[in-house]
Structure formats: C-alpha cells, structure tokens
Amino acid sequence: MLSLFLKCLLGALAVLIIALLSRSRSFFVAGLVPLFPTFALIAHYIVGTERSAADLRATALFGLWSLVPYAVYLASVYWLSVRLALVATLAWATLAWTLCALLILVAWYRLYPAA
C-alpha cells in the first residue's frame, strides 16, 4: 500500500512542477518534465526485480519504440496549434498518438512474437 501511495505522490509532484513551470518565464521547460523517467524508473524496477535481464532489455527497447508515438503527438500539436482551437488540437494529437501507438504494438508483436 505504501508503494502505491509513493507512486501517486510522484505523479502529483510531476503535475505540480508542470503547473509551476508553466507560469514561469521558462514555461517551455514544462514540456521536459513529463519526459523525466519517473514512470520508466518504476516500470524498469518492477520488471528488473520480477523478470529476467532479457525482459528488462526488451522493456527498454520497447520504450525506445514508444518515443515514436510521442514524437507524432508533439508534431501534431505543433502543426495543429495554429490551425485549430486548443481542445481540437489536443484531441487530434491524442488520436494521432493512439493510432501510432497501435501501429507500434502491431509491429512489435510481428517482429518479436515471443515477447
């Protein structure tokens, strides 16, 4: 139970930091905070303690693949932000992320069927 509470606390801290940075002169740094590997550290620790080193490597490799949907999301926000309202921009960018993530999953299972 304590572990779950600490994970929630980390998430809340990340949101607080993002909110504070977004109001500062360095507002753009708020985009860096979600990339801090908070959840990756948690995932890698859990996989590393419960599974093999090969599984940890596969998790890290898939994490590299997961950067592609995030890049698609950011490119979509960048391109759509001057064309659509905020909510529409974020909705379309999220849809782009989702479609790209699904493609990544299909590709992963085809390339690494044992995973």
d(C-alpha 106, C-alpha 115), whole Å: 12
What is the block-wise mean pLDDT of the chain (115 residues), using blocks of 10 residues? 84 90 91 85 93 95 95 98 98 98 95 79
pLDDT of residue 113: 84
Q: Is residue 26 part of a domain?
A: no
The whole domain housing 86 covers 53-115
pLDDT of residue 60: 96
pLDDT of residue 115: 59
| Cβ–Cβ < 8 Å for 92, 77 | no
Q: Is residue 102 part of a domain?
A: yes
Q: Is residue 65 part of a domain?
A: yes
pLDDT of residue 35: 84
d(C-alpha 95, C-alpha 46), whole Å: 29
Query: Helix axis angle, 38-50 relative to 2-22, nearest 10°?
Result: 160
Q: Is residue 94 part of a domain?
A: yes
pLDDT of residue 84: 98
Q: Which tokens belong to 99?
A: 């479609």
Q: Is residue 43 part of a domain?
A: no
Q: Is residue 113 part of a domain?
A: yes
d(C-alpha 44, C-alpha 88), whole Å: 34
